[in-house]
Amino acid sequence: MDYEVRVRVGMLCLILPFLVVQILCIYREQRLNILPTPDLDLQRLNMMFLSPETAAETLRPAAIDRPGNGSLRADEWRALQAARQEFLARSCRILAGRHGPLGAFLATKEFTRRLQHLLVDDEHRAIYCYVPKVACTNWKRIWMILTNKTSAESPDAIPSHVPHTTNVLRSLADSSYTADDVRTRLSTYTKFLFVRHPMERLVSAFRNKFEKSSQFSKSIGPEILRKFRKSSGESSLNSNVTFSEFVSYVVDRKFRRREVLNEHWEAYTDLCLPCIVSYDYVGKYDTLKEDSDRILEEIGAPDGLRFPAFVRSATASLVPRYLSTLPPSELRFATDVYKMDFLLFQYQFPIFRNLTST
């Protein structure tokens, strides 16, 4: 069976139970009286089956579980978080049951490696799963203050490279933690993560790591050009990697070579294990400042410690242009890399147009 056909059949098997979960959670949210009736446009659920020719107008407002753009009262915010938590748990039971319970995971040999993104604050009994390209630099700055790894009192006073220095922050992968230590913390600490529309995050990673001169463009760039640059010649191999070539590289590593992706474009489901770790709060990039400050209050952060002033980047408005450069099959495969992120965190799939494209 052709790979594209297998992808569509697999997506169909995923999306049917997802629709059931979505309807159940919408019913619960309406009973809570915190959300308006979401638009259940079936195109939103079926668009991944259509053959795309362009990706124009693909990115819609990411958060479909939030009423309006204003701030929520504390009780409304907690109710929304409870609804997200329930939706995530139910979706995992139906869509990702293969991940299994926490106990079984901790019995595997790889559990330590898989927990390196879960940062620990024992004083405030909190665990934060950091996701690159979702404001993790500022959150790591805050974590340094919470865990007394700096004398700075404000996140803005900490240079941006410092939080990313090896061993500055302690994770659950620390060798001093036993399996029982990990189990206790995952069972009793407040756990949270932040997510962003998967395609917006992918474009953000490309712009940051390949359009600017960085170690990625120097180390990974030549490999991508040699494998995916269609034109030949020395001058061609000395130019910048295109977004299409970058996506081909990501898809190739994920599906053909079956290798672990770089953390800057690895899926949330692999970085943070949301179907194994039961998260108490899921923050969204669209409401980063509000969600961050609410979570700081919930974990008992010091008075006055707040998330830095945040101005959203222009990446979201640029996503349609970047996705429009992808061949139809490449856009389908790129979406498949992050399909569980789309489903578990309630983000819309790109709209695939032109049914006659191949």
pLDDT tens digits for range 93-103:
887 554 556 66
Indicate the number of domains in the chain.
1
Q: State the pLDDT at residue 353.
A: 47
What's the mean pLDDT in 290-313?
93
* Residue 341 banded pLDDT, cuts 50, 70, 90: very high
* Residue 212 banded pLDDT, cuts 50, 70, 90: confident
Handedness of CA 173, 174, 178, 183 (dihedral sign): negative
Q: State the pLDDT at residue 114.
A: 82
Q: Is residue 239 part of a domain?
A: no
Q: Is residue 349 part of a domain?
A: no
CB 49 within 8 A of CB 11: yes
* Residue 9 banded pLDDT, cuts 50, 70, 90: low
Q: State the pLDDT at residue 347.
A: 92
Nearest Cα residue to 316 out of 103, 45, 62: 62
**DSSP tag of 357:** -
Q: Is residue 134 part of a domain?
A: yes
Q: State the pLDDT at residue 84.
A: 93
Q: State the pLDDT at residue 11.
A: 54
Selected residue with higher pLDDT from 264 and 348 = 264
Q: State the pLDDT at residue 13.
A: 57
Mean pLDDT lowest for which of 43-52, 248-257, 320-329? 43-52
Q: Is residue 358 part of a domain?
A: no
Q: Is residue 241 part of a domain?
A: no
Q: Is residue 44 part of a domain?
A: yes
Q: State the pLDDT at residue 71.
A: 81
Mean pLDDT lowest for which of 17-26, 258-267, 328-337? 17-26
Q: What are phi and psi of 10, to 5 degrees?
A: -65, -40
CA–CA gap between residue 165 and residue 212 (Å, rounded): 21
Query: Going by C-beta distance under 8 Å and a sequence separation of 6 or more, which residues neighbour residue 317?
Result: none
Q: Is residue 304 part of a domain?
A: yes
Q: Is residue 270 part of a domain?
A: yes
pLDDT of residue 32 exceeding 90: no
Query: Going by C-beta distance under 8 Å and a sequence separation of 6 or more, which residues neighbour residue 187?
Result: 102
CA–CA gap between residue 345 and residue 84 (Å, rounded): 8
* Residue 110 banded pLDDT, cuts 50, 70, 90: low
Range of the domain at 46: 3-203+261-344
Q: What are phi and psi of 12, to 5 degrees?
A: -60, -40
pLDDT of residue 123 exceeding 90: yes
* Residue 66 banded pLDDT, cuts 50, 70, 90: low
